[in-house]
Amino acid sequence: MNVQADYSRLAERLTQQGIDVEAVKEKLKTQHIETPSWGYGNSGTRFKVFSWQGAARNINEKLADAGYIHKLTGVAPTVAIHIPWDKTDDWAGMAEYAKSQGVGIGAVNPNVFQDDQYKLGSITNPSGAVREEALAHMVECCEIMGKTGSEILSLWFADGTNYAGQDNIRERKHRMEEAFAETYKHLPAGGRMVIEYKFFEPAFYHTDLADWGMSYACCLKLGPQAQVLVDTGHHAQGTNIAHIVAFLLDEGRLGGFHFNARRYADDDLIVGTNNPFELFEIYHELVSAGDLAKDVAYMIDQSHNIEPKLEAMLVSILNCQTAYAKALIVDRKLLNQRQLEGDVLGAHRVLVDAYETDVRPLLAQARIEIGRDPDPMAAYRADNYAKRVAEERGTIDASGGYPG
């Protein structure tokens, strides 16, 4: 690939279309996608947790791997942590070590779904004592935000019921609202909480936060520091996620994303692998919303079980970059004109034209300008980091890993 020549040709074409190529590149250079600590360790399905040679064994190794991904891409400067999986008694030390690896601590994710007492739910559990315990953990996570410099508390609950009549749905809603109100009070200054929803699993009759509307209703009761988190894998087949994104952006309540790809349910596959046009639609809405999208947090939430972990994370980032680049070069003036004229297919074609543009030279040039290799995948494959950590870390028993 002759980056310079290819880039010049593309830049010239885009400029002729009235696109400010320098501004587009600036956006690409400052894109920010957070990777999850749990994406670097062993993981699996509900049937089997696989052992990977070289998988990170502890938080320091997860941070080192995340630092490596950032070094390759330049757009993954933070790491989400999951508590207690990443618990330490030296939070300042963790933040310091992250910094030494070139990354910072991102969203803090409390875990109130893994322990025995949460069998019937956490903050919606019929037992007051269990609810107290879940709340205390969420408050502890607010404190961890303060100690690590994190600005986001990312909440997801496995709460729900399996059978009609198992519990009182409205009572559970009240319990949840109470816990949210208390947690909200503990957010550090400038911090926010993002509330994730999921339409089913592990509960199958009803899930206490089943869709974006339920999360949104909770956020409205709390205040501006509460926003909705859209996990792309948490929707029923055929749901128009871009529409949800546009609606929440317009309401100022889109807090962030958990990116992944799905075919059936919460498959946790690599974002943009089976749904690249959907990812582009989402980015198109984000770009169209301008400043309304300025605080949206972009996070990967995937479980790589049969894929090499570092390579999978890298592909995820590259796919997000590609979708964003394509969304940035949509001819919005022409789009608006055709929309107002009622030109149904003409308007659609504006999007398709951007989507079908080969944006690789643009991304390569942006990478060069931030001191990265124009082809991070080639750089990764030529490098020996993965081989080195495989030798150093070996293979550990995967039984304690995240089940997917």
Minimum separation from the CB atom of position 266 to ligand PSV (A): 5
Q: Which residue, 167 or 266, has its beta carbon nearer to ligand PSV? A: 266
Q: How far apart are CA 313 and CA 281, in angstroms?
A: 21
Q: Of 301, 324, 338, 364, which lies in the binding site for Mn ion, with binding defined by CB under 5 A? A: 301
156 makes contact with ligand PSV (CB under 6 A): yes
CA angle 245, 248, 250 (to 5 degrees): 105
- 8 Å CB contact between 153 and 193: yes
Please list the helix, strand and coil fractions of the chain in percent, rounded to the nearest 5, in that order. Answer: 50, 15, 40
Site for ligand PSV in 19-48 (CB under 6 A): 38
- The site string for ligand PSV over 90-129 (x = CB under 6 A, - otherwise) reads -------------------x--------------------
Q: How far apart are CA 222 and CA 363, in angstroms?
A: 40
Minimum separation from the CB atom of position 38 to ligand PSV (A): 6
Q: Of 208, 281, 301, 373, which lies in the binding site for ligand PSV, with binding defined by CB under 6 A? A: 301
Minimum separation from the CB atom of position 401 to ligand PSV (A): 12
Strand 152-155 to 192-196 pairing: parallel
Q: Mark out the alpha helices in 113-256 (DSSP H runs).
A: 128-148, 169-185, 212-222, 241-250
Q: Is 153 helix (H, G, I), strand (E, B) or coil?
A: strand
Q: Is 295 helix (H, G, I), strand (E, B) or coil?
A: coil
Q: Of 151, 231, 373, 375, which lies in the binding site for Mn ion, with binding defined by CB under 5 A? A: 231
Q: How far apart are CA 319 and CA 306, in angstroms?
A: 19
CA 222 to the chain's CA centroid: 23
231 makes contact with ligand PSV (CB under 6 A): yes
Work out what residue 109 binds among Mn ion, ligand PSV, none; the CB cut-off runs from 5 to 8 Å by kind. Answer: ligand PSV
Q: How far apart are CA 241 and CA 281, in angstroms?
A: 9
Q: Of 196, 208, 278, 285, which lies in the binding site for ligand PSV, with binding defined by CB under 6 A? A: 196
Work out what residue 355 binds among Mn ion, ligand PSV, none; the CB cut-off runs from 5 to 8 Å by kind. Answer: none
Q: Which DSSP helix (H) or strand (E) runs through 64?
A: helix 59-73
Q: How far apart are CA 34 and CA 50, in angstroms?
A: 24
Minimum separation from the CB atom of position 254 to Mn ion (A): 15
Q: Which residue, 301 or 373, has its beta carbon nearer to ligand PSV? A: 301
Q: Which residue, 62 or 258, has its beta carbon nearer to ligand PSV? A: 258
- 8 Å CB contact between 279 and 319: yes
- The site string for Mn ion over 248-277 (x = CB under 5 A, - otherwise) reads ----------x-------------------
Position with the least CB separation from ligand PSV = 156
266 makes contact with ligand PSV (CB under 6 A): yes
Q: How far apart are CA 262 and CA 15, in angstroms?
A: 36
What token pair was written down for 183? 């947690």
Contacting positions for ligand PSV (CB under 6 A): 38, 109, 156, 196, 198, 231, 258, 266, 301
Contacting positions for Mn ion (CB under 5 A): 231, 258, 301
